[in-house]
Amino acid sequence: MIYIINPNKIKLTAAKLIKEDNEAFEKESINTIPRIKFLDKFIELEQLIRKIAKEKNVNFINNRGQEKLDSLNSLIYGLFRQLLINEKQYHDLKNINRFRNLVVHGEINSIEPKIIEQIQSIINHLETKIFVNDNNI
């Protein structure tokens, strides 16, 4: 099967996300955070997700019946399927990952602090719920 890549996909996705959550995408604001700070926090989140996925043997079978562990979206879905995160956290993580792609591709230059707070909240949840529960078994 051949997929044709739409060269405007990133711009269309950016426009859609901006429309959905305008506060997180304000162009210029005194309170915005540089994208490097966002990326540093995102890297922390991704490393934690990968660590948990490895320790919890999170796996995801794609629509072709193949085990797929490499993409972050697959790991996020695996965490959700194994009930390590709830539905809201699952959707938040997917949106944060999409947001990250827009930042990396230069569609967004600065970020509202609430995105960093949202990432930290998920990190806190993963660290406390998952790792603390392991110690209590």
Q: How far apart are CA 30 and CA 119, in angstroms?
A: 21
Q: What is the pLDDT of residue 118?
A: 94
Q: What is the pLDDT of residue 130?
A: 74
Please work out, in degrees rounded to the nearest 5, the angle formed at the alpha carbon of residue 128 by the alpha carbons of 72 and 80.
35
Give strand pairing partners of 36.
none
SS3 67: strand
- Render each residue's pLDDT in the chain as its tens digit; 137 residues: 444 555 566 556 656 665 665 555 545 556 899 989 999 999 999 999 999 988 888 866 666 766 666 789 989 998 998 888 999 999 999 999 999 999 999 998 878 999 999 999 999 999 987 765 555 43
Tally of CB atoms within 10 A around 75: 22
Output b/e per residue, 88-101; b: 16+ Cβ within 10 A: ebbebbebbbebbe
Q: What is the pLDDT of residue 71?
A: 87
Residue of 54, 117, 115 lying closest to 84 (CA atoms): 54
